[in-house]
Structure 1
Amino acid sequence: MPDPSARGANPPRPPRASLRTSVVWEVLKDALDRRVKATGRDALDVLDTGGGSGSFAVPVAQLGHRVTVVDPSPNALFALERRAAEESVADRVRGVQGDVHGLFDVVERGGYDAVLCHGVLEFVDDPAEGVSNAVAALRPGGAVSLLAAGLGGAVIARALAGHFAEARQALTDPAGRWGDADPIPRRFTAEQLTELAERAGVEVGAVHGVRVFADLVPGVLVDTEPGALDALLKLEAAAAELPAFHSVATQLHVLGEKRG
């Protein structure tokens, strides 16, 4: 039997306990639970590419899993080490400097039960190669979690801010950028992200729209109206899997398994 103390008396909170990550965290946790049952092992080997300071890696380690974080930033890896120590999971979190294009210079090919690739594909030179490497790091049947910027959310945000020309530019630009000052190099539709996953050998199980409403609701309302945050979280969760809302989400999440 696993040692309950290794996982903590209480389940970990969602990463950053925020609207930005709650939907992804819940479906990721369920996916990891399914892999535990499928493999018969209580502790999985999880790879977090571009995992930064550990907003997902540390909560995953709190579930009892071993997590390797690959990130190009030494500062982010230092913050990861500190966060892991503060949460008493330093023995289950390892940070290595690198990126998804040179992934197998620093980690083992085919050595992981789950791979997270969050906030990476927007910035890499070749998203298809990035997804392919992430999937190649998995054992057969392993879970893959892709999270990337959504095109529709950016178009709506620019339009609601009164920047109509920029909204149209994002809508027509091949990379989904609204102009030279846009900090995001690339955005995706749900179809594009799903296609990248399937071409890399992923059996897609679910697609989620993330931050469908959260970025449109005034922060003061969420902060001051009693019960507003909880109600908004429930609304986001209810809308996340509905295809009608994928086209307006700020981020898109694809969850699947590596084909055997």
Structure 2
Amino acid sequence: MPEVPEKFNTAMTTWQEWQDAPWGRLRYAIAEANLARHLDGLGGGPLRILDVAGGDGGDAMRLASRGHHVTIVDYAPAMLAAATERASAAGLTELITCVRADVTALPADLADGEFDVVLCHNLLQYVDDVPGTLATVLAPLKRGGLFSVMAINRHSAALNVAVREMDPAAALAALGTDRLRTQMFDSTLTLHTAEEIIPLLQSLGCLDVRHYGIRSFCDYITDDARKYDPAFYADLEQLELAASARPPYMHTARLFQLTAWNGTHEARP
């Protein structure tokens, strides 16, 4: 959809404000913690990481600050410009590479890149062909490498509407649809569940799939102003981290994150 990159370009200010808000900070902090559970299984040295649809580098900057080399692929020039700027400001220029490309047609050097880790965070809700997209973004991952996919959790949609908007009729309607309209990027999203994506990953050769939830509580606490209090936020972050891999909380979290190993039967942490 060619209009999507332009919408990302024009919504940059709103997007960056969202990232700085408590819910945005939680999204990145919890995703990083979930990845950290597994990165040691790839050895102690710097890793080569491909961040597909990586935007302005929210995930990439955290991983580069750990010493890893991250290639960000995105189709929106404003996002990549912001990522380059962030890398420079953080002194991470040598560890961050930005490539403008369509994720469905990666350049050959990336498609055959044999990366240690591939991230596919918040892309699936924008694409029509989910199995094909997953196959494409898995192709650059070396055997035994770590894959991470994240998307908005459809199970959270009705609960989110009922709690935050106090609109049971709208919540009832949300139970019967997989569509969600986002004001930030003026787009209609397709919502998925972890239970739908896990078999797709397994059919593509992924093993030991782990299911995590991101923002299991934050989005259902209606006092958003209080989340800006540092002490409250610190307690909330600890709660979210503790619940990330604990059932039943990840099943109704606002986002789901799945990690998996690419075609290896070796024991992994």
TM-score band by shorter chain is 0.7 to 0.9
Correspondence for 1:186: 190
| Separation in structure 2 between the aligned mates of residue 78 and residue 153 of structure 1, nearest angstrom | 33
Asked if 2 retains the 8 angstrom alpha-carbon contact of 1:151 and 1:247, the reply is no
Query: Identity of aligned pairs, percent?
Result: 29
1:235 to 239, 243, 252: 239
Structure 1 unaligned regions, length at least 5: 1-14
Report the Cα offset of residue 222 of structure 1.
2.3
Within-5 A mapping of 1:23-62: 23-37=30-44, 42-62=45-65
Report the Cα offset of residue 245 of structure 1.
1.6
- Aligned CA distance change for structure 1 residues 227 and 179 (closer, same or farther; 3 Å): closer
Correspondence for 1:154: 157
| Separation in structure 2 between the aligned mates of residue 55 and residue 196 of structure 1, nearest angstrom | 26
TM-score by length of 1: 0.84
1:133 to 130, 133, 136: 136
Correspondence for 2:260: 256
Letter in 2 for 1:54: G
Report the Cα offset of residue 23 of structure 1.
1.5
Aligned pairs, number: 239
2:225 to 212, 220, 223: 220
| Separation in structure 1 between the aligned mates of residue 122 and residue 182 of structure 2, nearest angstrom | 20
TM-score by length of 2: 0.82
- Aligned CA distance change for structure 1 residues 179 and 75 (closer, same or farther; 3 Å): closer
Higher relative contact order (CA 8 A, sep 6+): 2
| Separation in structure 1 between the aligned mates of residue 167 and residue 188 of structure 2, nearest angstrom | 17
Asked if 1 retains the 8 angstrom alpha-carbon contact of 2:181 and 2:189, the reply is no
| Separation in structure 1 between the aligned mates of residue 117 and residue 46 of structure 2, nearest angstrom | 11
Alpha-carbon displacement from aligned partner over 1:76-135 (angstroms, at most 9, x marks no partner): 011111111111111111111113211245623252000000010110121111111122
Correspondence for 2:26: 19
| Separation in structure 2 between the aligned mates of residue 104 and residue 92 of structure 1, nearest angstrom | 20
Report the Cα offset of residue 74 of structure 1.
0.6
**Pairwise CA RMSD of aligned residues?**
2.2
Letter in 2 for 1:146: V
Asked if 2 retains the 8 angstrom alpha-carbon contact of 1:116 and 1:146, the reply is yes
Report the Cα offset of residue 60 of structure 1.
1.1
Report the Cα offset of residue 169 of structure 1.
2.6
Q: Please say which of residues 118-127 and 24-33 is displaced more in the overlay.
A: 24-33
| Separation in structure 1 between the aligned mates of residue 109 and residue 52 of structure 2, nearest angstrom | 11
Within-5 A mapping of 1:83-162: 83-105=86-108, 107-160=110-163, 161-162=165-166
| Separation in structure 2 between the aligned mates of residue 72 and residue 106 of structure 1, nearest angstrom | 17
Correspondence for 2:179: 177
Asked if 2 retains the 8 angstrom alpha-carbon contact of 1:190 and 1:246, the reply is no
- Aligned CA distance change for structure 1 residues 153 and 64 (closer, same or farther; 3 Å): same
- Aligned CA distance change for structure 1 residues 179 and 116 (closer, same or farther; 3 Å): closer
Alpha-carbon displacement from aligned partner over 1:176-198 (angstroms, at most 9, x marks no partner): 12579884421112201212221
